[in-house]
Structure formats: structure tokens, C-alpha cells
Structure 1
Amino acid sequence: MKMIEYVKLILEKVSFEKELFEKELKKGLKQLSLKEIKELRKWCYERFGSVYRGILNRTFRKVQISISV
């Protein structure tokens, strides 16, 4: 199983709880390549955008900043 698929699986399993979802998203991003992060970002917004948009915006903004620097 590819790491991105594993991260998606974990996010699906913890999506019932906001704090756990955010923690696992941040942890998962550390394991992925830039290409995989872009793919995960698209998937997350499609799958969880209506519920966790604030978390996604905040988390992916931080990733974008660290990539730019």
C-alpha cells in the first residue's frame, strides 16, 4: 500500500473526531512527497471540505508556506 493510500485510510477512520482528524492529517503530510500532498489536498477537500474546511485551509496553508520557504 502506498503511503498516500494509508494516510487516506487513516483520515477516513478518524474523521468522526475533529482534533484527531487534524492531528492525523498533519502527521500524514510529513510522510508524503510534494506530488502526493497535492493529490491528498484535492481528495481532502472533495471528501471532507464540507465538514472540516477550516482545518483543511489552516493545515494546507501551513504546508504551502513551508514549501515556499
Structure 2
Amino acid sequence: MLEYAKTILVKVSFDKMLFEKELRKALRQLVPDELHQFKAWCYEQFAKSYRRILNRVFAQLA
């Protein structure tokens, strides 16, 4: 599921709203063990473009 979520985010990264929607959906579907790895990957890949979205969405998990 982790690789699938990564693939989807890369494909929708052209659109801010779609990116956030798919990010939230991925977080609901991933198991807790995958969340830390997924978060690190998201920041590595998308921090330049979507740091605010990442901060907001991952802050809601805490």
C-alpha cells in the first residue's frame, strides 16, 4: 500500500487540491508502521512545493 500511495501522490502532484485529497486518503489507508517512512518520503519529495499542506495534514495526525 505504501508504494501505491507514493505513486498516486507523484501522479497528482500537479494539482494542489488533488494532492491534499490523495495525501489524506493515503494516511487513512496506511498502517501505523508505514506512516513514519511515508512522512519522511513526502517531505523529501514535495517539501519545496507543498510544505504547508504537508505540515497541516501531518500535524492533524499527532
- Normalising TM by the smaller chain, what interval? over 0.9
TM-score, normalization by structure 1 = 0.87
CA distance in 2, matches of 1:21, 1:33: 20
List alignment gaps of at least 5 residues for structure 1. Answer: 65-69
> Runs of 5+ in structure 2 lacking a partner?
none
1:7 corresponding residue in structure 2: 5
The percent of aligned pairs where both chains have the same amino acid is 55
Decide which of 14, 17, 29 is 2:15's aligned counterpart: 17
Q: Which runs of 4+ in 1 moved over 6 A?
A: none
Counterpart code for 2:6: K
Return the match for 1:37 from 9, 16, 35.
Answer: 35
- Total equivalences in the alignment: 62
